[in-house]
A and B are shown apart, each in its own frame.
Chain A
């Protein structure tokens, strides 16, 4: 019995580690539960968050968030700072405004939960009740 408990506990820890990070990434990509997607290619995720792909409502963490910077480097291949410069050119040429920014994982999750077309990212260990985690494919 004791061995079973130990094995069960170890399994729980392993599963928690798997669900808290996608392939070792420091973030999780989340969508509304009504969204049929289970995975998206990285290039498409980048376009969605740069608002170059229609019918999505992306949401970012604030610029100072290390998770945002990690997401930006992984998905866009650029730091959050470089992406901000891109947004400045878009804003002041009247072309587009950046996605809304939220100050916490919980706020991002709440936004995604409330918007059928929403897509966001939270830290790897964040609670994801009420939203769906999807994979980012290479």
Chain B
């Protein structure tokens, strides 16, 4: 843990260092990184975003990203991460892959590659690229985004007049994202893709994603089919993002929707707001048969205030008002159709921390 904190401090100093920011190395190897630390607290026994009733300080991540160009058209990418979440700690190979660039229209990727789904899946932990410390849980909590796929992928861009089209397609096996916990399962034989459309309206981008495969968790198998659509508008003042997603596996149906906005009040201060809505349903099961509906629901209304020291370092705070226990529940509670007599359906959560990148 101490070594991890030292790494975090070193990374923060590097991100703040003007000499590092001033000169980009011209070598064929580029090094970047990012880090996060935050304190999380909730008002009851429910744990939400790794915050608990006592107040949790042990939430941190640091990652180093390396890009190398050993020869023309060949790029090697790798990212190594160190995660602390409560009493759980792990190192992770976020991704490591080779990319051969035939042209801007076609690039071939092979290795362990971040899944392309929605807006944030590829830079899941990079806090300087979003208004809140954590991502909207309806889409990024569970059920939709994998850790990375191991296999082959194609990516490229096509421009037509004032329109631009960025595509991704991949096949392989997909690890399931779960914070600092050990990977709970894998989606095998996955096939998926994403299309981003850069519109003629400057800053406006829309897109759609989908994947299917075979989910294997000890004691459970299913064939998930996930689809999603997203929209993003970014200018100097506003960052507005929204996604809607649906995942179907076995008799389970998961729906997700959020709208997230950040507004730069001035060069340093930013206000943020979030509406996040997720539901988990069992097809064919009447509502009356669900003993505790709050376990299958999630509504998060959050407000945040951030202070940007620079583009690379930001102090963030946010307050969440959460209805439902799908993502806010005590340790050991299994959601879905179960009953817990003392479960509190409403949670108030506070997050405060720092995020940086370099």
Contacts and interface: CB of A to CB of B under 8 A. Distances in A.
B159 A88 contact: no
Contacts of A101: 21-24
B302 interface: no
A52 B157 contact: yes
A77 B129 contact: no
B357 A88 contact: yes
Contacts of B123: 88-89, 92-93
Contact of B79 (A77, A85, A92): A92
A38 interface: no
B113 A94 contact: yes
Interface residues of B, number: 38
Nearest to B99: A94
Nearest to B63: A92
Contact of B103 (A54, A82, A97): A54
Q: Which DSSP category, helix, strand, loop or mixed, fits chain A's interface?
A: loop
B129 A93 contact: no
Interface string A16-27: 000000000000
B99 A78 contact: no
Interface string B79-122: 10000000000000001010100011000000001100000001
Nearest to B312: A84
B129 A85 contact: yes
Contacts of B129: 85, 88-89, 92
A88 B128 contact: yes
A103 interface: yes
Query: What interface size band does chain A fall in?
Result: 20 to 34
Please indicate which of the listed interface residues A64, A97, A98 has the most CB atoms of chain B within 10 Å of its own CB: A97
Contacts of A62: 21-23
A70 B210 CA distance: 40
B236 interface: yes
Contact of B67 (A53, A79, A94, A99): A94
Contacts of A102: 23
A113 B123 CA distance: 36
Interface stretch (B26-34, B244-252, B346-354): B26-34
Contacts of A89: 122-123, 126, 129
A8 B65 CA distance: 58
A91 interface: yes
A66 B45 CA distance: 50
Contacts of B155: 95
Given A54-B104, A92-B79, A94-B77, A100 B202 contact: no
Contact of A98 (B24, B77, B104, B162): B24
Contacts of B122: 89, 92-95
A81 B266 CA distance: 12
B126 A92 contact: yes
Contacts of B32: 91-92, 97
A93 B235 contact: no
A88 to B, nearest CB: 5
A33 interface: no
Nearest to B109: A94
Contact of B202 (A47, A77, A81, A92): A77
Contacts of A97: 30, 32, 67
Given A92-B129, A93-B123, A100-B24, 14 more contacts: A52-B159, A53-B104, A54-B104, A78-B202, A78-B236, A79-B236, A82-B235, A85-B234, A88-B126, A89-B123, A91-B32, A91-B67, A97-B30, A102-B23
Q: Can you list the 5 inter-chain pairs with the closest CB atoms, starting with the nearest?
A: A93-B122, A94-B77, A92-B123, A100-B24, A101-B24
